[in-house]
Amino acid sequence: MRSPAMLNKIIPLTLAAVSLCAADRYLEKLYPEWGQSFEIDEMIYQEKTNFWDLSIFKNKRFGTVVAMDGIIQCTEADEGIYHEMLAHVPLLAHGNPLSVLIIGGGDGGTLREVVKHETVQKVVLVEIDGSFIELSKKYLPHLSQGAFDDPRAKIVIQDAAVYVKEAEETFDVILCDSTDPVGPGRVLFTSEFYGDCKKLLNPKGIFVNQNGVPFLQKEELHLTLENRKPHFKYVEFYLAPVASYVGGFMAFGYATDFKYRLSKKALQERLEKVTGKMHYYTPAIHKAAFELPQYVLDAIH
């Protein structure tokens, strides 16, 4: 899921996210001076709910495309890059994750990757809008691939900020697959939220979230780093190139109290126990993803 700018106590929203379905094209415009458009071969579904304005359509190049509130959320062609890197980097780093919390992720893509790990005994997915899960099952079955029916999965329809504040169970890994920091998603980028997540992590637990595109969202990168620092000993970022997220590399925030140092050999041994074929993730990519380009280093220092 996308994160164009930080809001409220973090960064005021100054960039309008506008979606335009003009004739047979869908225009995403996160920035006044730049945008991207997709040819609509078939509009599959459109609906405006209390939570978001949703469009699902077909495109020859990207397959099924999901857009929410004027922002491209995922495409069939490149969602595997995003979901694999969000899930497998922390799960394989941990090595023995028994319990996982997914915040957001109503499309089922992150859940699909998590249940590939046989060590995982319990996955709780907290989604604010249950209707989006049902729409995903109907129109985006290639994303979840039956993961919602996995007996280890528990689906909770609730505001995630409330859930992490009130929950008593703990987790080895927390994956925040949130939408933009507007409306319901705003609170998921605050220091208070990160602190609540930290309380739910077991010793050596890992928290990961999507953190925008650093080339265009440097302020977001820096301020989310500052919001996590009070709660975790090690706060880092890693990157992955997701083609439909304009602006270059997508950043993932990574936070833990335990410094994991794993060789490619160790990661490969763990990966061999994960079911299914990877589209993007490899142990070499895992390690290289934490090597940041200079413009990202400049943004976080």
Catalytic residues, by residue number, are 177
Query: What pairs with residue 117 in β-bridges?
Result: 274
Cα angle: 131, vertex 201, 288; to 5 degrees = 90
C-beta atoms surrounding 246 within 10 Å: 17
Look up residue 94 and give its two tokens.
């941990």
Angle between helices 218-228 and 191-199 (to 10 degrees): 40
Cβ–Cβ < 8 Å for 102, 80: no
DSSP state of 43: E
Query: What pairs with residue 119 in β-bridges?
Result: none
Distance CA 145, CA 127 (A): 18
